[in-house]
Amino acid sequence: MALEHVAQGQTRIFIPGVAPDPRGILLGKSCVLTFSSVEGAVSWLRLYSAEASLDELLSGLAITKATTALGTRDILLRIPAISSHAADRAARIARLLGGEIYTGSNKHFVKYRDDKSPYGYDVVDVGPAPADIDTLLYGDDFVQSYRHAGDLPFERLLFRLSLRRVPGADRLADSDREELVLVVERGLAEGVVRYFWRNRVSARTGLFAPQSRSAFDEGRSERGFMLFMVRGLPERMLKLFLGTPGVDVFRPRGNACAVAVGYQHPIDLTSCSSVFGSDKYHLFWPGDRVDILPGPLELVDIADLTKLDISIDKAITEKPFANGVNDAISVDFQLVPTVVPSARIVGTLIDTKQRDWLKRLLFALPPALLRGQRVAVTDRGILVVAEATAAKATDTFGVVPLGQPLKAIAPGLLLPVGLDVVPRVSPEVLARALGHSAGMVTILVPDAPGFRVADSDLVPLERRTIAKLEIEAAEVTDVALASGASPSVVNDPVGRFSLWGFPEVENRKLLGGGE
């Protein structure tokens, strides 16, 4: 049986289930690729995934073991014919690997187009397929029939493929180290948390027990590990972890899987992300091991696992603050100089020796600044803060230009301008470690324990400005007329200049006249 060339614009087609597409190329609902072994099908998936996404083919992709009438076995890879462009790519890769490609529907498939027939092929004499035949392929000079001997699900094939060692793949560029996954044995987890925090590496972590330790083993393991999602891991740390027993480094390949650094999966996992789903996370290890974790991953910031050792004294009336934290991964708290400018200066701490200076300065303060300050006199000094410090720490307020300026890093949490907290934890974590909460003002100072005062102990500055004044009571005199007295009215001459309010004699003097 010989094939016939399809001409441009031809509409009469004998092969059932095929028709010209908008480009005039004969195309059916599916394409069938034939290979002599599973390696050929895997190689085709590998090359296709490197050029295009497999997700668009997975809805109709099927890998089948098929036998011929002579008993030989082939691998049939069926993919949906989404377009002639995708079919052209599939044909080019299949022929590169020694395979063939056909297009059609149901059981009948004809050879896909090539250089000899740019618009495809047709068969004039098409007979019904026998009932025991599952696939009929029409080639140049033959008709090949196949019976299906079994299916090979793509997902099963994906997890059975072994990772390949890639020379030099463990030397990652900066962009490749932007996000990495570390699997750490539980005995090393505390040291890794402390190491990341001290080196200011952003990381999130969680404790997991994988559902399966191997793609070939359905058994469960009770042994868990700590998983770290690390951002911007320095190159020196990457080298350290790659050489540390108990620590394994992975590169994420999409949102639901990661592959060990230095290795590569035969198929680009980012091109088939729909296989993994969103409810599981897969770790591909060397040695045919795949760990399946519940997803999406629920991780916490390492700052929430780190405790601070801080001593806090109490000013005014409250008891001294005691941290009471004793943790194996805690680190010392320090205030260090910083060159980063602060736009949140909300108060000042004035030495008690400068009390007279403050009194003189109060005469020069404008009314708005005087009314917007609150003050508390403590054994640590005179604390002057803006009215809204404890309520809102993101605004900039006018402050008294005296003493040590204070900036707000959280509502009610103040430290001197020009200093910063190390380790650089978030303000929320620092406040929780200090025992700081709403209704109090906490001040951190260098070379001395910090202190705090109750917000209610701060009074408006203008109330403390004016000292107590001595006021005498005035005697009230009764000027009422005596009982029975009658007033008399006297009409005296007012003169010519009565409106001036002077007597006549005085008016003549003003005008230069005599007596």
- Among 69-78, 146-155, 407-416, the least confident range: 407-416
pLDDT of residue 508: 56
**Residue of 280 and 395 predicted with greater confidence:** 280
**Residue of 247 and 458 predicted with greater confidence:** 247
Tell me what the mean pLDDT of segment 220-248 comes to: 87
CB 429 within 8 A of CB 441: no
pLDDT digits (tens, 9 = 90+) for 25-64: 999 999 999 999 999 999 999 999 999 999 999 989 999 9
**Residue of 213 and 283 predicted with greater confidence:** 283
User: Which residues, at least 6 apart from 48, have a Cβ–Cβ distance to it below 8 Å?
Assistant: 54, 89, 90, 93
User: Which residues, at least 6 apart from 212, have a Cβ–Cβ distance to it below 8 Å?
Assistant: 218, 219, 220, 290, 291, 292
> 148 has which bridge partners?
66
Distance of CA 357 to the CA centre of its chain: 49
pLDDT digits (tens, 9 = 90+) for 238-265: 999 999 999 999 999 988 899 999 999 9
Q: For residue 214, give the nearest of 149, 265, 160, 141 by alpha carbon.
A: 160
Distance of CA 474 to the CA centre of its chain: 73
pLDDT of residue 245: 93
- Residue 178, pLDDT > 80, answer yes
Q: How many CB atoms neighbour CB 170 within 10 A?
A: 16
- Among 78-87, 286-295, 462-471, the least confident range: 462-471
- Residue 394, pLDDT > 60, answer no
Distance of CA 68 to the CA centre of its chain: 55
pLDDT of residue 307: 61
- Give the confidence band of 146 by pLDDT, cuts at 50, 70, 90: very high
- Give the confidence band of 396 by pLDDT, cuts at 50, 70, 90: very low
Tell me what the mean pLDDT of segment 86-102 comes to: 95
Q: Where are the domains of the chain?
A: 4-152, 162-302, 308-465
pLDDT digits (tens, 9 = 90+) for 399-416: 677 888 888 888 888 888
**Residue of 421 and 282 predicted with greater confidence:** 282
pLDDT digits (tens, 9 = 90+) for 478-501: 666 555 666 677 777 777 766 666
Q: What percentage of residues in the chain have a pLDDT greater than 90? A: 36
pLDDT of residue 30: 94
Burial class of 356 by CB neighbour count within 10 A (0 to 12, 13 to 18, 19+):
exposed
**Residue of 362 and 324 predicted with greater confidence:** 362
- Give the confidence band of 389 by pLDDT, cuts at 50, 70, 90: very low
- Among 248-257, 283-292, 454-463, 475-484, the least confident range: 475-484
Tell me what the mean pLDDT of segment 297-308 comes to: 81
pLDDT of residue 240: 93
- Residue 318, pLDDT > 60, answer no
pLDDT of residue 45: 95
Q: What percentage of residues in the chain have a pLDDT greater than 70? A: 81
